[in-house]
Amino acid sequence: MIRLKNIEKNDLDIVTCDIYPEDSANPGKISFDMNTLNILDFSLPFGYEWCKCHVIHAGNALKEMCKSGHLQNEKMVMWY
C-alpha cells in the first residue's frame, strides 16, 4: 500500500506529490511527467528504500489519473 498526498500539477505539466509507503509517517516525493506518462524522479523516506515497487504502483496511479484528466488531491493505492 502507498498513500499519495498533496498531488499538484505545475504549468509544465509535471505532477508532484508526497508518497507514504506502508506504515511510514514520513513522506517521500515523486514527480511525474503528464506528457510522457513517466516518473521523472522520486525519493523514499529513510528506512523505506527497499519500497521501489511502491514507486511503480504510485506511478501507475498517477498515469491513470493523468489519462482520465482528473487529478485528485489524495489517493490510496493498494495491491496484493
Model confidence over 16-73: pLDDT tens digits?
999 999 899 999 999 999 999 999 999 999 999 998 999 999 999 999 999 998 999 9
Determine the structural domain holding residue 29 and report its residue range.
Answer: 2-77
CA 59 to chain centre: 5
What confidence category does residue 80 fall into, taking pLDDT thresholds of 50, 70 and 90? confident
- b/e for 36-45, b at 16 or more Cβ within 10 A? eeebeebebb
In this prediction the pTM is 0.92
Counted domains in the chain: 1
Provide the pLDDT confidence category of residue 78 given band limits of 50, 70 and 90: very high
Q: Is the pLDDT of residue 5 over 90?
A: yes
Closest CA to 62 of 18, 23, 32, 41: 32
d(CA 38, CA 13): 12
